Amino acid sequence: GIQVEQSPPDLILQEGANSTLRCNFSDSVNNLQWFHQNPWGQLINLFYIPSGTKQNGRLSATTVATERYSLLYISSSQTTDSGVYFCAYFGNEKLTFGTGTRLTIIP
């Protein structure tokens, strides 16, 4: 199957900083999603982004399918942004998740 790798695995930032999380996949995918799991365990869908760029408030995502990567940008980080960010692609009837990036925002 297609491998999905995320980087960095861990990221610690001061509140107000910007960050870029990366998702690389080993082959072409046509359905990519980003999720945030907050410290209380809740899983929230951030973006469905098979290609191009989308923005939602302080968050934006870009997928370059031909180059097999996707980026998640978080600007002006807040403590509520802490948690684990997963990218995932949908294929063979199910999602395959990346390894995740654990983001910690320090006040």
Partner 1 sequence: NAGVTQTPKFRVLKTGQSMTLLCAQDMNHEYMYWYRQDPGMGLRLIHYSVGEGTTAKGEVPDGYNVSRLKKQNFLLGLESAAPSQTSVYFCASNWGTQYFGPGTRLLVL
Stretch that binds partner 1, among 17-25, 54-62, 63-71, 88-96 (CB under 8 A): 88-96
State yes or no: residue 86 binds partner 1 (CB under 8 A): yes
> How many helices, marked H, and strands, marked E, lie in the chain?
0, 11
Sign of CA dihedral 16, 61, 102, 44: positive
Stretch that binds partner 1, among 8-16, 63-71, 72-80, 84-92 (CB under 8 A): 84-92
Which residues fall within 8 angstroms of residue 91, CB to CB, at 6 or more apart? 1, 2, 29, 31
Contacting residues toward partner 1, per CB under 8 A:
31, 33, 35, 41-45, 48, 86, 88, 90, 93-95, 97, 99-100
